[in-house]
Amino acid sequence: MKLVTTDRVAFRDVLPQGGRLIGMDVGTKTIGLALCDAQWSIASPAHTITRGKFTKDKIALATFITQQQVKGIVVGLPLNLDGTGSPRSQSSRAFAQNLADLGYPILLWDERWSTQAVTRTLLEADASRARRDVLVDKLAASYILQGAIDGLVAGI
């Protein structure tokens, strides 16, 4: 299956039995990963991959996805504040298209404000800069995935 879409209904329709999802916050230096349960209740931060050559990153992602018995992928789509695309959103779309041959449906999910919201929460928790750097990407992935599963469950 090579479904890469922003349409949550189309994504949900190819996963009628639910199943575990992985969320990705794709940055230039790292890929933050989060997982949710098969019932799409709650997203949890999971792992951060330091980016290198795409081929190696894809192998690491495929291995992690298989180990975690994932059924679908949610990739954060960084849009401009007015909802239009940007060079970063084009990069995320290309990343998702390059993952499509793994055979999992992929939902591109609006990630505006995810990193800012997570950073604000970490600052309020008085996390050190070093601690924030370690956590921010996988927490942003969790924030993205939680928004997506909330939207999938609500059917909005």
Burial class (CB in 10 A: 0-12, 13-18, 19+), 154: exposed
CA angle (9, 58, 110) in 5-degree steps: 35
Residue 73 has pLDDT above 90, yes or no: yes
- CATH number of the domain that 149 lies in? 3.30.420.140
Residue 94 has pLDDT above 70, yes or no: yes
If DSSP states are collapsed to H, E and C, what string results for the chain?
A: CCCEECCHHHHHHCCCCCCEEEEEEECCCEEEEEEECCCCCCEEEEEEEECCCHHHHHHHHHHHHHHCCEEEEEEEECCCCCCCCCHHHHHHHHHHHHHHHHCCCEEEEECCCHHHHHHHHHHHCCCCHHHHHHHHHHHHHHHHHHHHHHHHHHCC
Q: How high is the pLDDT of residue 75? A: 97
Please report which confidence band the pLDDT of residue 100 belongs to, taking 50, 70 and 90 as the band edges.
very high
More confidently predicted of 128 and 77? 77
What is the pTM assigned to this prediction?
0.87
Q: What is the C-alpha to C-alpha distance for residues 126 and 37, in angstroms, rounded to an integer? A: 29
Question: pLDDT tens digit string along 7-66?
Answer: 999 999 999 888 999 999 998 899 999 999 999 999 999 999 999 999 999 999 999 999
Q: How high is the pLDDT of residue 46? A: 95
| Beta strand 106-110 pairing with 4-5 | parallel
Domain count for the chain:
1
Mean pLDDT across 61-81: 94
Q: How high is the pLDDT of residue 56? A: 96
Q: How high is the pLDDT of residue 39? A: 94
Please report which confidence band the pLDDT of residue 141 belongs to, taking 50, 70 and 90 as the band edges.
very high
- Token pair for 143: 């924030």
In 3D space, the residue among 34, 33, 21, 5 whose CA is nearest the CA of residue 97 turns out to be 5
Question: pLDDT tens digit string along 112-130?
Answer: 666 666 566 656 666 666 6
